[in-house]
Amino acid sequence: MKVSEFDFHLPEELIAQEPITPRDMSRLIVLHKRERCIEHKRFYQITEFLQEGDLLVLNQTKVLPARLLGFKDTGANIELVLLKRIKGDYWECLVKPGKKLKPGTRVCFGDGELQGEILDYTDSGGRIVQFIYQGIFEEVLDRLGEMPLPPYIQKELKDKSRYQTVYAREQGSAAAPTAGLHFTEELFEQIKNKGVQTAFLTLHVGLGTFRPVKSENVEEHKMHSEYYSINEETAHLINQAKDKGKRVVAVGTTSIRTLETVGDKNGRIQESSGWTDIFIYPGYSFKVVDAIITNFHLPKSSLIMLVSAFAGTDFVKEAYRVAIEEKYRFYSFGDAMLII
């Protein structure tokens, strides 16, 4: 299977540069898999497609303000993006400009409130960094860090909370699980009143999620690994829904990947945590997930391959063509897709 099958042209003006207000006023394209038909709605109308007894599964990860702007003792400007905590104050980071950051280099952030010492290189061209500070690291980071917005978003984000879901709890992501950005507390109340249950899991999103697949053949691609956890309550709710023949509706590709990592061949879940590098592409048989809510994804990305595995490559291509024609907003701050 060729990666080029998942390529498409997107006019630059359709790349959303800022979130819509209120969150649930974003547009929603609805794909009916069986009938192969498409509807156009607003996100707040999603309750029309949810049924009593459905279980909505959401990723409660919280984005770290992981972009740090600092300087070397020479005065040179340096940018670090925290990717993954190795242990304690040791982190794997992206760095810019890389040539200036050799092992032994120190970088200062703020007025020296936070310092980072470059210890080593990573296989992917990043760095292992030890941070030095006084107090609680997360509080220092909250003061000095910025949200690590994707490179296709050029506008400054004035309100950090708009790159967090309203249910974000577990800090640790380098990027938001963007399918969840459309939900509001009021919408959750409507969903609850319809008899739809909600359950939460955690998968800390790495920036590698959004990178294009660079191999020529899909099967040759190797996914990066991301940390996940599912507690006993969520496992019970999923198993209960399955036993009753109800739908498990996964919000976002991160929730899908987590559920499909831990689900057995009968779609049952156990409390668990660990690292997943699952790569879902056409030909994959879904065990747990019955419906998905997602955003529009980058060409040639593993995420568009996952969506194509669920809905069919040709149907997804057609939906993207229609979305571009109808001028939907794309990517992280863009509009949403429901596949049922």
- HEC string for 246-305: CCEEEECHHHHHHHHHHCCCCCCCCCEEEEECCCCCCCCCCCCCCEEEEECCCCCEHHHH
Position 217 in a domain: yes
Q: Please say whether the dihedral angle defined by the alpha carbons of residues 197, 304, 202 and 337, taken in this order, is positive or negative.
A: negative
Q: Cα–Cα distances in Å, from 129 out to 62, 141, 174, 254, 306? A: 22, 14, 16, 27, 33
Same-domain pairing of 87 and 184: no
Domain that holds residue 116: 67-144
Q: What is the mean pLDDT of residues 279-303?
A: 96
Residue type, 60: Q
Residue 237 — φ and ψ, nearest 5°? Answer: -65, -40
Long-range contacts of 187-191 (CB under 8 A, 24+ apart): 187/24, 187/43, 187/44, 187/46, 187/47, 190/44, 190/47, 191/47, 191/50, 191/56
pLDDT: is 47 or 225 the higher one?
47
Total domain count, the chain: 2
pLDDT in tens, 52-103: 999 999 999 999 998 999 999 888 999 999 988 899 999 999 898 877 789 9
Final residue before a domain boundary, out of 102, 119, 144: 144
Residue 155 counted as domain residue: no
Q: What is the CATH number of the domain that holds 101?
A: 2.40.10.240
Closest CA to 22 of 201, 221, 136, 159: 159
Q: What angle do CA 67, 223, 202 make, to 5 degrees?
A: 60
pLDDT digits (tens, 9 = 90+) for 130-173: 999 999 999 999 999 998 888 889 888 889 899 999 999 998 89
CA distance 194 to 178: 24
Q: Quick check: 110 and 143 in contact, CB under 8 A? A: yes
Q: What pLDDT score does 210 carry?
A: 63
Mean of all residue pLDDT scores within the chain: 94
Last residue of a domain, one of 144, 177, 208: 144
CATH number for the domain that contains residue 287: 3.40.1780.10
The answer to whether residue 123 is domain-embedded is yes
Question: Which of 206 and 175 is assigned the larger pLDDT?
Answer: 175
- Rounded-to-integer distance, Cα 256 and Cα 292, Å: 8
Classify residue 151: in a domain, yes or no.
no
Whether 72 and 214 have beta carbons less than 8 Å apart is answered as no
E strand or H helix at 217: none
* Per-residue DSSP letter, 3: G
141, 64 contact by CB (below 8 A): yes
Residues 171 and 57 in one domain: yes
Give the model's pLDDT for residue 209: 65
Give pLDDT tens digits for 200-231.
999 999 876 666 788 999 999 989 889 999 99
pLDDT value for 331: 96
The one-character DSSP state at 209 is G
